[in-house]
Amino acid sequence: MTIQTLEIESQTHSAGSDAKPLGAKMEVQNMSVFYGKFRALTDINMNIYANKITAIIGPSGCGKSTLLRSFNRMNDLTPSARVEGSILLDGRDITANREDVVDVRRRIGMVFQRPNPFPKNIYENVAYGPRLYGIRRKNDLDLIVEKSLKQAALWEEVKDKLHQSGLSLSGGQQQRLCIARALAVEPEVILMDEPASALDPISTLRIEELMHDIVKEYTILIVTHNMQQAARVSDFTAMMMIDEHRSGRMIEFGETKSIFTNPKDKRTEDYVTGRFG
């Protein structure tokens, strides 16, 4: 078993000016994920720090997305999938069967690689989640829609056309709409699976800026193939690779500034310098 412990230079991190002590929002303990007999992930141990951005990097097929999907039990949707070990959210194991999956997914939202707005108008895209969780009053919903779109840095662009289809927006705007949709149910953690890989460079930077803006209130995990993006946006980086059994393992976890300037593991070095992967 490999435990990814982290030596942090200080208990506060410099990404934001507000120097709050680091606290683990989520803790992954000895987690393995199986698809039938195949062990897709082996012995993952890591902390996800509150109000920080953690990037998961690694070559294709190393289990990054599987890991991300474990965090809000998306793997439950795959019939043969099974999780061993635990994932604690504020100290409570969310992998336990007794946990309410719907509540877990409200607390841990997700944004996908391709923007996937509902075929509804912009307003309804954002109001959909809160309505599902029982908010009915129009005034309340209006406030949530406006707040979420503002947080997603989309409000100014769409405030006069809230009743147009979400699909009428550009790709970058659609992705920000999906982020607004995720924020509308006030999650605590946001999982992002390659959120900018289908976007142009300007839209990509917009998403990255937005991540910086909202991380004060949320905890973000991002899977990315783009090393420069991981280096730019994240506070912590987890490097994954497959082992000889083709099972994903976390080989290094640390502060992003260390991973990209002086990684400890030769395989991380080779990956971030583009020598393999």
Partner 1 sequence: MLRKTFETELQQLKDEVLVLGSMAEQAILNSVEALKKRDLKASEKILEDDRAINKKRFDIENQLMILIATQQPMAHDLRLLASTMEIISELERMGDYAKGIANINIRMGDQPLLKPLIDIPRMAQKDVDMLHRALTAFVNEDVEAARVIPAEDDEVDALYNQVYRELMMFVIQDPKSIERANWLLWVAHNLERVADRVTNICERTIFIATGEMAEIKSTDDDFWKNQS
Judged by the rule CB under 8 A, the positions of this chain that interact with partner 1 are 227-228, 231, 260-263, 268-269, 272-277
Q: How far is the CB of 37 from partner 1 (least distance, A)?
A: 33
Structure tokens at 215: 């991380």
Q: How far is the CB of 237 from partner 1 (least distance, A)?
A: 11
Name which of 124 and 252 has its Cβ closer to partner 1.
Answer: 252
* Residue 41 near residue 87, CB atoms below 8 Å: no
Distance CA 229, CA 178 (A): 20
Distance CA 267, CA 232 (A): 21
Name which of 130 and 263 has its Cβ closer to partner 1.
Answer: 263
Q: How far is the CB of 228 from partner 1 (least distance, A)?
A: 5
Q: How far is the CB of 182 from partner 1 (least distance, A)?
A: 30
Distance CA 113, CA 117 (A): 12
Q: How far is the CB of 269 from partner 1 (least distance, A)?
A: 5
Name which of 137 and 276 has its Cβ closer to partner 1.
Answer: 276
Residues with Cβ within 8 Å of 127's Cβ and at least 6 positions away in sequence, in order, are 141, 144, 145, 184
Name which of 16 and 277 has its Cβ closer to partner 1.
Answer: 277
Q: How far is the CB of 270 from partner 1 (least distance, A)?
A: 9
Name which of 219 and 268 has its Cβ closer to partner 1.
Answer: 268
Name which of 17 and 262 has its Cβ closer to partner 1.
Answer: 262
Distance CA 135, CA 141 (A): 7
* Residue 51 near residue 88, CB atoms below 8 Å: no
Q: Is 116 exposed, middle or buried (0-12, 13-18, 19+ CB in 10 A)?
A: middle
**Among residues 55, 66, 89, 63, which one has the least CA distance to residue 211?**
55
Q: How far is the CB of 202 from partner 1 (least distance, A)?
A: 18
Name which of 82 and 267 has its Cβ closer to partner 1.
Answer: 267
Q: What is the dihedral sign for C-alpha 96, 99, 100, 105?
A: negative
